[in-house]
């Protein structure tokens, strides 16, 4: 764990005790069993708002506490351990980040306080196809005077069914595949011509597919200059990746803890299975991978807070290394639990399924290995 300030330690402790008492994995399971379309339980969400977590990234002038990304990461990690579901990440982390980095003063003033008090859920709509590829954005934004008409579709939009607003990545110029020509618009969910459908994913969270059929927005809804959002989009996505990294650390370290516990209690051949060297060494390798991954995950959040010029590299490193660890860890969680690990009644499967979704979001490991190499110039 990084060296924390007093305030960070307080919030981390609060997150640990709240998540284990009020949002344990059993609550997530209950919600999944009910088939909740929104993908989260309302009381869980309003408790988070009350605790002030929705304001961690937001400056005080907009009603937040401005505590930074590492602090938010600590909360996301603890929520990850319990698979606690809510729009906290999509709205108060990614949505707020997009507004802070790209929003106009008016947009910030109108949305940030409402993100903080939970009355708005603002989420980013970026992916369109099977792979995360922002440059391949095809959703078209045709400018007509001070109007822009949006046509196209988005997929895997986080909390898309409960969102009140979407921050939409659209193409104002150029062809799909070109990094240039992208714009960001903030679009209310009830805009004429915008429709959404839930996507049922293996992690039982709330995602939506969006369809834009000539949705009209104005210059006032444009975030930043038209056609020039590529760079800021990268910055937004990097912060999102580091946040996913933090949650992945939580999911992975919980999977490790469950596995270690089983190694110490399950007996076969007259001994606890953790006494077999094959498994002891596997646990040692997993532990080492976890420690190395933690360093990468925390460093990314710290680089963001420090506004360093190597944020992009650090965030790709985090997404790739924490993702690699979680991938292996979630597989071993099942394997080391033997037949029990395969049952729906046991929690291992919930962690495995969440793991794969987190790995996929905002670029999987291979995406970020490639990106890291490009950032290093090869």
Partner 1 sequence: MTAASDLDGFRSEVSEWVQSNFPSALKSFDLGADSPSEKGVSGEFRAWRQALADNGWGTPTWPKEYGGAGLSDPEAKVIRQEIAKVGAFNPIPPMTGMGVTMVGPTILEYGTDEQKAKHLPGIASGEVRWCLGLSEPNAGSDLAALSTKAVDNGDAFILNGQKIWTSGAHISQWCGAVVRTDPKAKKRDGISFVMLPMDQKGVETRLIKLISGASPFCETFFNDARADKSDLLGDLNDGWSVVKRLLQHERQSQTSAPAAVKIDQEPLQEQAKRYVGTLEDGTLADPDLRLRIVENLMDAEAHQLTVSRITAEAKGQVKVSAAASVLKNSMTRVAQTKAELTLEMMGNQGIGWEGEQFSEEELRSVRDWLMGKAMSIYGGSAEIQNNIISKNILGLPETTQQG
Ligand X SMILES: Cc1cc2nc3c(=O)[nH]c(=O)nc-3n(C[C@H](O)[C@H](O)[C@H](O)COP(=O)(O)OP(=O)(O)OC[C@H]3O[C@@H](n4cnc5c(N)ncnc54)[C@H](O)[C@@H]3O)c2cc1C
Minimum CB separation from partner 1 for residue 66, in Å?
23
Chain centre to alpha carbon of residue 266: 34
Binding ligand X by CB under 6 A: which of 220, 284, 342, 373? 342
Can you read off the two tokens belonging to residue 295? 């360093």
Q: Examine residue 170 and tell whether it contacts partner 1 (CB under 8 A).
A: no
- Residue closest to 332 by CA, chosen among 347, 348, 320: 348
Can you read off the two tokens belonging to residue 274? 């953790």
Q: Examine residue 261 and tell whether it contacts partner 1 (CB under 8 A).
A: no
Q: Examine residue 180 and tell whether it contacts partner 1 (CB under 8 A).
A: no
> What gap in Å lies between CA 209 and CA 128, rounded to an integer?
9
Binding partner 1 by CB under 8 A: which of 50, 280, 308, 343? 280
Nearer to ligand X by Cβ, of 208 and 289: the residue is 289
Can you read off the two tokens belonging to residue 188? 């209310």
Binding partner 1 by CB under 8 A: which of 25, 133, 260, 357? 260
> What gap in Å lies between CA 101 and CA 195, rounded to an integer?
27
Q: Examine residue 127 and tell whether it contacts partner 1 (CB under 8 A).
A: no
Residue 263 binding: pick among ligand X, partner 1, none (C-beta 5-8 Å cut-off by kind): partner 1
DSSP 178-192: -SSSEEEEEEETT-T
Q: Considering only 123-131, 195-203, 204-212, 269-277, which stretch makes contact with ligand X by CB under 6 A?
A: 269-277
Q: At what angle do helices 6-22 and 42-50 cross, to 10 degrees?
A: 160
Site residues (CB under 6 A) for ligand X, limited to 154-193: none
Nearer to ligand X by Cβ, of 37 and 287: the residue is 287
Q: Examine residue 278 and tell whether it contacts ligand X (CB under 6 A).
A: yes
Binding partner 1 by CB under 8 A: which of 96, 320, 333, 361? 320
Nearer to partner 1 by Cβ, of 270 and 339: the residue is 270
DSSP 255-313: HHHHHHHHHHH-EETTEEGGGSHHHHHHHHHHHHHHHHHHHHHHHHHHHHHTT-TTHHH
Site residues (CB under 8 A) for partner 1, limited to 321-340: 321
Handedness of CA 184, 190, 195, 199 (dihedral sign): positive
> What gap in Å lies between CA 100 and CA 184, rounded to an integer?
13
Q: Examine residue 266 and tell whether it contacts ligand X (CB under 6 A).
A: yes
Q: Examine residue 51 and tell whether it contacts partner 1 (CB under 8 A).
A: no
SS3 316: helix
Can you read off the two tokens belonging to residue 44? 């869980």
Residue 109 binding: pick among partner 1, ligand X, none (C-beta 5-8 Å cut-off by kind): none
Binding partner 1 by CB under 8 A: which of 66, 291, 308, 343? 291
Taking a C-beta distance cutoff of 8 angstroms, is the pair 316, 242 a contact?
A: no
Binding residues vs ligand X (CB under 6 A): 266, 268-269, 273, 276, 278-279, 335-336, 338-339, 342
Binding residues vs partner 1 (CB under 8 A): 1-3, 260, 263-264, 271-272, 274-277, 280-281, 283-285, 287-288, 291-296, 298-299, 317, 320-321, 366, 369-370, 372-374, 376-378
């Amino acid at each position: 764990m990084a060296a924390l300030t007093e305030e960070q330690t307080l919030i981390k402790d609060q997150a640990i005790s709240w998540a284990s008492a009020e949002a344990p994995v059993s609550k997530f399971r209950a919600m999944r069993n009910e088939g909740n379309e929104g993908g989260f339980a309302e009381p869980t969400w309003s408790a988070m708002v009350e605790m002030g977590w929705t304001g961690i990234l937001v400056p005080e002038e907009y009603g937040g506490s401005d505590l930074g990304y590492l602090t938010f990461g600590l909360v996301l990690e603890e929520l990850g351990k319990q698979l606690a579901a809510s729009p906290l990440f999509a709205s108060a982390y990614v949505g707020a980040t997009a507004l802070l980095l790209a929003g106009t003063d008016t947009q910030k003033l109108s949305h940030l306080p409402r993100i903080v008090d939970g009355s708005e859920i603002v989420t980013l709509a970026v992916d369109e196809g099977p792979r995360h590829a922002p440059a391949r954005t095809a959703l078209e934004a045709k400018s007509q005077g001070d109007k822009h008409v949006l046509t196209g579709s988005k997929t895997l939009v986080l909390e898309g069914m409960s969102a009140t607003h979407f921050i939409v990545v659209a193409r104002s110029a150029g062809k799909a595949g070109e990094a240039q020509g992208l714009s960001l618009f903030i679009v209310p969910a009830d805009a004429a011509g915008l429709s959404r459908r839930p996507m049922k994913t293996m992690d039982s969270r709330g995602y939506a597919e969006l369809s834009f059929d000539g949705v009209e927005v104005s210059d006032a809804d444009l975030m930043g200059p038209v056609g020039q959002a590529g760079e800021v989009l990268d910055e937004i996505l990097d912060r999102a990746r580091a946040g996913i990294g933090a949650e992945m650390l939580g999911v992975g370290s919980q999977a490790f803890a469950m596995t270690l516990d089983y190694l110490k209690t399950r007996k076969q051949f007259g001994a606890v299975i953790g006494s077999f060297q094959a498994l002891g060494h596997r646990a040692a390798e997993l532990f080492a991978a976890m420690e190395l991954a933690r360093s990468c995950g925390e460093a990314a959040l710290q680089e963001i807070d420090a506004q360093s010029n190597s944020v992009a590299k650090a965030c790709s490193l985090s997404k790739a290394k924490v993702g690699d660890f979680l991938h292996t860890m979630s597989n071993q969680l099942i394997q080391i639990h033997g037949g029990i690990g395969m049952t729906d009644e046991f929690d291992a499967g919930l962690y495995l399924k969440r793991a794969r979704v987190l790995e996929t979001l905002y670029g999987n490991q291979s995406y970020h290995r490639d990106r890291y190499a490009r950032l290093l110039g090869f």
